Amino acid sequence: MSSPQTTDLGTNEQALRAARVAKAERIRARNADPFANDIDPSAIIPLGELRRHFEPARRADGTYDIEQVATLAKRAPWGESVVVAARVIASRSFGKASFLRLRDWSGDIQLFCRKNVLGADFAALEDIDVADHVTATGPVMVTKTGELSVDASRLRILTKAYRPLPDKWHGLSDVEVRYRRRYVDLIASDEVRAIFRARAFIVRSIRRYLDERGFVEVETPTMNPLVGGAAARPFVTHHNALDMQLFMRIAPELYLKRLVVGGMERVYELGRCYRNEGLSTRHNPEFTMLEYYMAYARYETLMDMTEELLRFVDAELAERMPAEHASWAQSRAFRFDLPFERRPMKGLIKSCVAGEYGDELGEGQSLLNALKSAGLTAEGVDDRERVRGVFEAVLQPSAGLPLVTRKQLQACDNHGERLFLLYELLVEPNLPAIFRRDGKSVPVFVIDHPVETSPLARRQTRAGGDPSLVERFELFVHGRELCNAFSELNDPDDQAERFREQVAKKARGAEETMDYDEDYIRALEHGLPPTAGFGMGIDRLTMALTAQESIREVILFPLLRPER
């Protein structure tokens, strides 16, 4: 019978593991530790730093000039001998000489091991396998083939890896296994490591952009007594000591606006949020959100800032990771160099109904045909009764719409929700085709949403505005929603009424609604200055900038179904 820790291994893998365990025992028999922890971290030279120091000696064909390397070695800040510590990712043996390829998080390098130089340490090679961690000391040199190498004068194992790396170093072929065993995926794939390095740079550059503009980073609760901040189904938890039901936060919005009331006029938070929704290539129940709030600003202000922020982050990524960025930029289906489009939601719907998008509607064409047959016209989009009548007509089975579409139409309670659904079904999936320039799509701000679908946003109360709409935008980058922002509602009476409407919807069975937050109303009564707020998913931004199709590629440990 297999031991508990080896039940997921095949027979061949069990034999390989057993052989590695035996090597660990041989190491112990020599009074050495196969899981040592006695190396001085300050002495270790990162391999990427080593590479950068000797970069001037690299020729156009990738080989290194022996004399230049020798000159640079004498000028090195760490002296002529280096200490490296890294994982073995490949190994070749030629009797009295062996070559190990070492890799750490910053880069890789070759380790040249000669019996006449290593002496007794050369025997350690018998117990070193690919995937082990080793440390070596020696000068930097160039082999006959022009490869930059560390000429090891000392070598020992630091950690014995009981399990081998993926076959032939080609990585994991099963996508789900890649996500479950991200630790192996990271070892095996340069591309995967690059994505998560990029994610770190993206977050860092966002902080830099906001910090330089006077924003203060804060932290707000992730366990809330009420559901608020966005319309979504929450995760529920329980606090034992207080015997209190709590909700994992959907968004930090209401707490951040309390801080603006308190005089922190520019605040932001980068934190985890949780939404009890399905899994897809764009959705993970646990995700990272940026939200910021800016007093004395409007949603137009934030549209300008959004374009500036995205180009700033992209430029920072290009500077930090030039080679990878060039590849990602080539693969992207969108472009950032042109001004972003700004289009009212209702105007997009009218253009769609009027047939201005031609053959761009794809799957939405059958729904549009049914709506038009029921009497919907571009001019009639503003007519509440006509739109309601059209919805009722196409809900009939004779209209021939799929059951899932009929359920979506039936769930709409009011004109604003009907408009929003028309936009979602007819326009949103086709934004990349509608706004296409020279083979790539242009990001588009969809502005001026219905008040019924925006319970926290300010109505258009300025001259020339439409009070049935709010000052809100969503930014779509190649058909994917990336940002949501609006001028904040700061009228406590209006906000209280909208909370009551949310509670009424919940009583009718709607799941994605907010609670009535009495303390937030009290905060507004203390005076929220004119404010604009912004939210953006970091996962989706990383997807966009690194040209990834699935959100699971940019989350280190995405939620998966239980493993069989």
User: CB pairs under 8 A, 24+ apart, for 355-359?
Assistant: 357/430, 357/433, 357/434
Domain CATH for 199: 3.30.930.10
Q: Considering the domain boundaries, does residue 327 fall inside one?
A: yes
Say if residue 281 is in the same domain as residue 392: no
pLDDT above 50: residue 4: no
Tokens of 463: 């001259």
- The confidence score (pLDDT) of residue 167 equals 66
Tens digits of residue pLDDT in 402-416 = 999 999 999 999 999
Q: Considering the domain boundaries, does residue 437 fall inside one?
A: no
pLDDT above 60: residue 58: yes
Say if residue 131 is in the same domain as residue 196: no
Tens digits of residue pLDDT in 299-350 = 999 999 999 999 999 999 999 999 999 999 999 999 999 999 999 999 999 9
Coil/strand/helix, residue 31: coil
Q: Considering the domain boundaries, does residue 480 fall inside one?
A: no
The confidence band for 364, taking pLDDT boundaries of 50, 70 and 90, is: confident
To the nearest whole percent, how much of the chain has pLDDT over 70? Answer: 96
Domain end call among 112, 135, 165:
165
Q: Of 272, 297, 300, which is closest to residue 287 (Cα–Cα)?
A: 272
Say if residue 198 is in the same domain as residue 219: yes
pLDDT above 90: residue 463: no
Say if residue 235 is in the same domain as residue 298: yes
Say if residue 298 is in the same domain as residue 282: yes
pLDDT above 50: residue 154: yes
Q: Considering the domain boundaries, does residue 82 fall inside one?
A: yes
Q: What is the mean pLDDT of residues 74-81?
A: 92
To the nearest whole percent, how much of the chain has pLDDT over 90? Answer: 84
- Sign of the CA dihedral running 19, 20, 24, 26: positive
Q: Considering the domain boundaries, does residue 251 fall inside one?
A: yes
Say if residue 306 is in the same domain as residue 201: yes
- Sign of the CA dihedral running 44, 46, 52, 54: positive
Domain end call among 135, 165, 195:
165
Q: Give residue 447's domain range.
A: 172-340+442-473+487-564
Tokens of 344: 């009212």
Say if residue 427 is in the same domain as residue 446: no
Which of 396-400, 410-414, 521-525: highest mean pLDDT? 521-525
Could you give the C-alpha distances from 168 to 63, 165, 511, in angstroms and in order?
24, 8, 49
Q: Considering the domain boundaries, does residue 481 fall inside one?
A: no
How many domains are there within the chain?
Answer: 3
- The confidence score (pLDDT) of residue 365 equals 86
Q: What is the mean pLDDT of residues 542-557?
A: 96
pLDDT above 90: residue 510: no
Lowest mean pLDDT among 51-60, 250-259, 364-373: 364-373
Tokens of 494: 């209006």
Domain CATH for 152: 2.40.50.140
Q: Considering the domain boundaries, does residue 479 fall inside one?
A: no
Say if residue 121 is in the same domain as residue 180: no
- The confidence score (pLDDT) of residue 5 equals 46
pLDDT above 50: residue 6: no
Say if residue 139 is in the same domain as residue 23: yes
Say if residue 392 is in the same domain as residue 451: no
- The confidence score (pLDDT) of residue 112 equals 97
Say if residue 234 is in the same domain as residue 319: yes
- The confidence score (pLDDT) of residue 140 equals 97
> pLDDT averaged over the chain?
93
Say if residue 158 is in the same domain as residue 188: no
- The Cα–Cα gap between 156 and 294 comes to 56
Indicate the burial class of 1 (C-beta count within 10 angstroms; 0-12, 13-18, 19 or more).
Answer: exposed
H or E, element range at 523: helix 518-525
Q: What is the CA radius of gyration of the chain?
A: 30
Could you give the C-alpha distances from 458 to 216, 226, 238, 536, in angstroms and in order?
24, 22, 34, 19
Q: Of 299, 332, 298, which is closest to residue 314 (Cα–Cα)?
A: 332
For residues 142 and 153, the answer to whether their CB atoms sit within 8 Å is: no
Which of 166-170, 404-408, 486-490: highest mean pLDDT? 486-490
Domain end call among 147, 165, 183:
165
Q: Considering the domain boundaries, does residue 198 fall inside one?
A: yes
- The confidence score (pLDDT) of residue 83 equals 97
Q: What is the mean pLDDT of residues 195-210?
A: 98
